[in-house]
Chains A and B, each alone.
Chain A
Amino acid sequence: MAQHGIEAHEHKLVPLQTRSERPRSTSISDFPELSNRQEIWRYLPMDRLQGLDAEVIGEVTQSELSIALSGAVTANWIDSSEQIVGTAGLPEDRISAIAWTNASKTLLVEVPSDQEIAEPVFLTLKLEELAAKALHIFVKVGANAKATIVLDHIGQGFLAENVEILLDPGANLDFVSIQDWDNGSSHVSNQFTRLGRDSTLKHVVVSLGGDLVRVTPSVALDSPGAEIQMYGVFLADSKNYFEHRPYVDHIAENCVSNVAYKGALQGAGAHTVWVGDVLIRETAIGTNSYELNRNLLLTDGARADSVPNLEIETGKIEGAGHASASGRFDDEQLFYLMARGIGDTEAKRLVVRGFLNEVVQKVGISQVEDRLIASIEQGLEKAGV
């Protein structure tokens, strides 16, 4: 741990059965009003919700979401009452239910079976209005198809969002959700994924801007042989509150999950929260699972909360582990670089870039990587490191 200049710290393990027993419902009234007393909203700055917790909110218009398709991929706005909606997951909290109820339309993005789509599909949501809005997106990847989809959130606005991702057997999807909002924006996104037999999902969360960004990606591994990689990279400054809560529910046999989130924080008031839940049920024999979160605090006054929760109900697994740490720069690394003539600022940059690199390199989409690297440079510039 010392190798990474980060001190391990104690954390308590919360039983996760409560997690699997959480009510699932599309009805707002099934969930209590938001309060910091509830674990799931514990850290949330309520004053930044901007009406996203109101029962009635607006809806994203089709012109606010631009779509750049690729190959045989289709995208259509359908009625949210259609059968398919809700087949990848149902709301587990009040804001998700609010988003569900208020989005009368759903954008259905479909990748036909057996198609290998070379170029990424880009869905770009640009908000320019300070009003709470709901959005529902459904991504369906047919059997043995392969595709990359980037969902980009930019501009300024308030968004309550549900994203469903359904992979048919043998499908392979790289999905990237970018939160790059201007200051003054708030965004709560629930991302439900369900993986078919032997399918593979790489789910990447990139959070760069927004007063409040809360992303809760969850996966139900209920078909054997499925594999999910969940990556996250975030760069928070004094204006940002970022919360990421990945949840992996191992139900079927021989599934693989790997969660790795890395963040850099700078500036007084910068606050990030990571709560990683992994539940390995009694039926999930042969599971292989790992979750990790590391945060690098670049300046004083930034705060990173990191809580890994791992619950294992069967001994018949391949492996399960977790790691979580937050800390300042490693003096030994800086000393080593500086002893070779590299200046203080440059040395810090090298260390930060290197720290985030591990996850940045996993993104695998050059446009996204370039933007991420540019954001990191900008952020470091701002931090004066």
Chain B
Amino acid sequence: MATLEIKNLHVSVDTDQGKKQILRGVDLVVKSGETHAIMGPNGSGKSTLAYSIAGHPKYEITEGEILLDGQNVLEMAVDERAKAGLFLAMQYPVEVPGVSVSNFLRTAKTALDGEAPKLREWIGDLKHAMKNLRMDPDFTERNVNEGFSGGEKKRHEILQLELLKPKIAILDETDSGLDVDALKVVSEGVNRAKEETGLGVLLITHYTRILRYIEPDFVHVFVAGKVAEQGGPELAERLEAEGYDRYLKTEA
């Protein structure tokens, strides 16, 4: 059992115009096996929350805490957070020229486990996982995310999720840019990880479409840098019908 606790999180970024506050007191608890959906308007700070949990250097935590099983995540380096069991599937996965997918995945697995995976087993796992995600085996020889289509990048993120077996995963708009079939394939990947490892999921999305495949236990409405409302799956349906107007008005 793992628990990710976010308490009163305030986050700023440096801009040319000075410091800009983006998160204004986020409280959230995600436990193993749970799926939390976060929905909210563009620019409300969802990705900022995701990056802050993963430790992106651009974001400055000005107040609040992030704990994983009681341990202070904010004191951990980015790689230590991954080793502690956190995973971020990025909204915009980064290209790494000259580094092949197979080299990247093996290096990551080795770093997380503290030892190199047994070659045969590893190759078997990799092939199996790629097949499940309907990824062409050639992908392993391509450079990380270089020239990948939007959908291919997202599959590659979920491939990593399945192979690296984190405790808590944040999926930042993993469903954006996926066609109907890909959405299903990717969702199945997430559900497999949930079943096999009891993964806890924080799923950032704009659409209820993915929530039909990955059923949320909780839905949080994110507005202007904090959670404005929470509820069950029915809240997602209401948001889709009504939009965020209600929350934005109360903000103003």
- CB pair B96–A336 under 8 Å, yes or no, is yes
A residues in contact with B160, CB < 8 Å: 340
Cβ of B83 under 8 Å from chain A = yes
A residues in contact with B232, CB < 8 Å: none
- CB pair A332–B143 under 8 Å, yes or no, is no
CA distance A340 to B87 in the complex (A): 7
CA distance A4 to B97 in the complex (A): 7
Assuming the contacts A338-B78, A339-B55, asked whether A357 and B98 have C-beta atoms less than 8 A apart, the reply is yes
Cβ of A32 under 8 Å from chain B = no
- Closest Cβ of chain B to A261, distance in Å, is 15
- CB pair A341–B99 under 8 Å, yes or no, is no
Cβ of B70 under 8 Å from chain A = no
Assuming the contacts A339-B78, A339-B82, A341-B83, asked whether A350 and B111 have C-beta atoms less than 8 A apart, the reply is no
- Closest Cβ of chain A to B50, distance in Å, is 10
- Closest Cβ of chain A to B13, distance in Å, is 13
Cβ of A355 under 8 Å from chain B = yes
B 29-63 contacts with A by CB, 8 A: 54-58
- CB pair B108–A342 under 8 Å, yes or no, is yes
CA distance A363 to B94 in the complex (A): 27
Assuming the contacts A335-B56, A339-B55, A341-B112, asked whether A351 and B96 have C-beta atoms less than 8 A apart, the reply is yes
Cβ of B141 under 8 Å from chain A = no
- Taken residue by residue from 318 to 341, chain A's Cβ proximity to chain B (1 for < 8 Å, 0 otherwise) reads as 000000000000011101111111
9 contacts between A and B (CB under 8 A): A335-B57, A336-B93, A338-B78, A340-B82, A341-B79, A341-B112, A350-B103, A351-B96, A357-B97
Q: Which residues does B use to contact A, with CB under 8 Å?
A: 54-58, 77-79, 81-83, 87-88, 90, 93-99, 103-104, 107-108, 111-112, 143-144, 160, 164
Known: A332-B94, A337-B107, A355-B98. 20 other contacts (CB 8 A): A3-B95, A336-B90, A336-B93, A337-B104, A338-B77, A339-B54, A339-B55, A339-B87, A340-B82, A340-B112, A341-B79, A341-B108, A341-B164, A350-B96, A350-B99, A353-B98, A356-B98, A357-B97, A357-B98, A357-B99
| 3 residue pairs, one from A and one from B, having the closest CB atoms | A354-B98, A357-B98, A341-B82
